[in-house]
Amino acid sequence: MNVTLQNVSKRFGATRVVENVSLTIEEGELFFLLGPSGCGKTTLLRLLAGFYQPDEGEIFFGERRMNDVPPNRRHTALVFQNYALWPHLSVFENVAYGLDVRGIRGAERETRVREALAVTRMQEYAERSPAQLSGGQQQRVALARALVIRPDVLLLDEPLSNLDAKLRLEMRDEIRRIHQQLRQTMVYVTHDQNEALSLADRIAVMNNGRVQQVGTPRELYREPRNRFVAGFIGEANFVDGTVTGSNGEHLHVRTAVGDLTVAARRRAFHPGQTVTCAVRPESVRADELRNPLSVTVREVAYLGSVEQYVLEMADGSRWKAIESNPYRVRKIGETVTMGVHHKDVILLED
């Protein structure tokens, strides 16, 4: 079922937690709400679940307006950050709960619970109590409990944040596998950009209650719209500049670190306009001849697969650069020339 939000706002007292959010989540999509803590992403999720009512705007599941539908009539299933497994019920009973309240009994109840436990690979643990399970296993049960009711929308609230790093990677793969297997519409809240980039069909990046940009992981990384998105998804070096000219294919921008030639994209810029340029650290390369920049190496950090530099630019500002497994070791204080491909200079709106 697709989900539509139109100009949704939510306030708590005087604080505007969600502001004028409009989104469409497609049927079968794994959609991410990504942002720093306090950006309103969890509130947005709870608005979908019905625990909060929007102060303004409308929420639709398919054609149905959901604004005043109570949580227990929405047919969403939320996977809580702390899993919220009922300690007095066994794993089986936890999973069966949603079926019980729907009056589904007998063989169908049994089969569907077994199925859900099979999907999350928890068949053997059906009779255990939640307290006897590890964090990762509890997570799987919470997922099974949500999946078993075949919800219109599956909501996940930072589901991996309570797991250690290794388990988190494992569960990430599990969620991808389950999504591919079931093609269930999912809305997934996280502050972890790696989780979002690796799993999402599309991501909405949020900050201060507003949606900053919606797009596929590739779009967000390659063409962030503003400084926040560029800085939140991946890293970026920023420099202000003025457009000096264009020839249809390329723009010329004068900046404090040197003149840059930028590949033209969809958005039009006119000469004299001030812009912000963003350059990813891995785009600053020694083997790139375009946009040559004279820099001085100030710090070197060897990280195994990559070598990370802090460079002093012509105007004295500092940029980050990453070189993949270099043959040549750069020394601190060395002055070198690095280039940036035309396509790797991103022009931002702000």
Partner 1 sequence: MERRRFPPAIVGMLACLTLFFGVFLFYPVGYMLRGAFFVEGKFTLEFFRLALASPLVRESVATSFWLGVLVTLFTTLLTLPLAHLFTRYRFFGKGLLGALLLVPMIMPPFVGAIGMRQVFGQYGSLNLVLAKLGCMDLARPIDWLGGGGFWGVVILETLNLYPIMFLNVSAAMANVDPTLREAADNLGASPWQVFRTITVPLILPGYFAGAILVFIWAFTDLGTPLIFGLNRVVSVQIFDRVSDVATNPMGFVLVCIVLVLTVVLFLVSRRLVGAKRYEMLARGHTAGAEVVLRGWPAVAAVAGVLLVVCLSLLPHVSVLLQSFAQRWFFTVLPGEMTWQNYEQIFQHPLTVLSIRNSLFYSSLSAGVDLVLGVMIAYLLTRRKIPGAVVLDAVAMLPLALPGLVLAFGYVGGFNWDVAWLNPRNNPIVLLVIAYSVRRLPYIVRSAYAGFQQTSISLEEASLNLGASSLRTLRKITIPLVMANLVAGGVLTFSYAMLEVSDSLILAMRENFYPITKAIYSLMSRIEPNAPSVASALGILGMILLTASLFLASRVLGKRMGQLFRAG
Piece of 99-107, 200-208, 271-279, 285-293 that binds partner 1 (CB under 8 A): 99-107
Nearer residue to partner 1 within complex by CB, 87 or 106: 87
* Among 178, 175, 174, CA closest to 189: 175
Cβ 59 vs Cβ 67: under 8 Å: yes
List 18's β-bridge partners, or say none.
10
In which element (H, E) is residue 254 found?
strand 250-255
Query: DSSP H helical segments within 127-280, as ranges?
Result: 135-147, 165-182, 193-199, 217-222, 227-232
List b or e across 250-276, with b for residues whose CB sees 16 or more CB atoms inside 10 angstroms.
ebbbebebbebbbeeeeeebeeeeebb
Compose the 1-40 pattern: x for residues touching partner 1 by CB under 8 A, - for all others: -----------x----------------------------
* 256: contact with partner 1 by CB under 8 A: no
Nearer residue to partner 1 within complex by CB, 161 or 208: 161
Q: How far is the CB of 148 from partner 1 (least distance, A)?
A: 9
Give the three-state DSSP class for 151.
coil
Of residues 14, 63, 68, 88, which one binds partner 1 by CB under 8 A?
Answer: 88
Q: How far is the CB of 41 from partner 1 (least distance, A)?
A: 14
* 255: contact with partner 1 by CB under 8 A: no
* 237: contact with partner 1 by CB under 8 A: no
Compose the 142-161 pattern: x for residues touching partner 1 by CB under 8 A, - for all others: ---xx--x------------
| Burial (CB count within 10 angstroms: exposed 0-12, middle 13-18, buried 19+), residue 72 | exposed
Cβ 206 vs Cβ 34: under 8 Å: yes
Q: How far is the CB of 280 from partner 1 (least distance, A)?
A: 35
∠ CA 89-69-106 to the nearest 5 degrees? 35
Of residues 64, 65, 73, 176, which one binds partner 1 by CB under 8 A?
Answer: 73
Nearer residue to partner 1 within complex by CB, 101 or 332: 101
- Return left, alpha or beta for 304; rule: phi > 0 is left, psi -120 to 50 is alpha, else beta: left
Q: How far is the CB of 158 from partner 1 (least distance, A)?
A: 11
Per-residue tokens: 210: 């507003």
Q: How far is the CB of 333 from partner 1 (least distance, A)?
A: 46
Cβ 158 vs Cβ 32: under 8 Å: no
Nearer residue to partner 1 within complex by CB, 64 or 254: 64
Q: Please tell me what DSSP assigns to residue 325.
A: S
Give the three-state DSSP class for 328.
coil
CA distance 87 to 91: 9
* 84: contact with partner 1 by CB under 8 A: yes
Of residues 3, 33, 77, 279, which one binds partner 1 by CB under 8 A?
Answer: 77
Cβ 83 vs Cβ 138: under 8 Å: yes
* 132: contact with partner 1 by CB under 8 A: no
Of residues 64, 102, 177, 183, which one binds partner 1 by CB under 8 A?
Answer: 102
CA distance 87 to 51: 22
Of residues 75, 150, 341, 342, which one binds partner 1 by CB under 8 A?
Answer: 75
Nearer residue to partner 1 within complex by CB, 131 or 268: 131
* 247: contact with partner 1 by CB under 8 A: no
Q: What residues from 195 to 214 belong to the interface with partner 1 (CB under 8 A)?
A: none
Q: Which residues bind partner 1 (CB under 8 A)?
A: 12, 49-51, 70-78, 80-88, 97-98, 100-102, 130-131, 138, 145-146, 149, 162
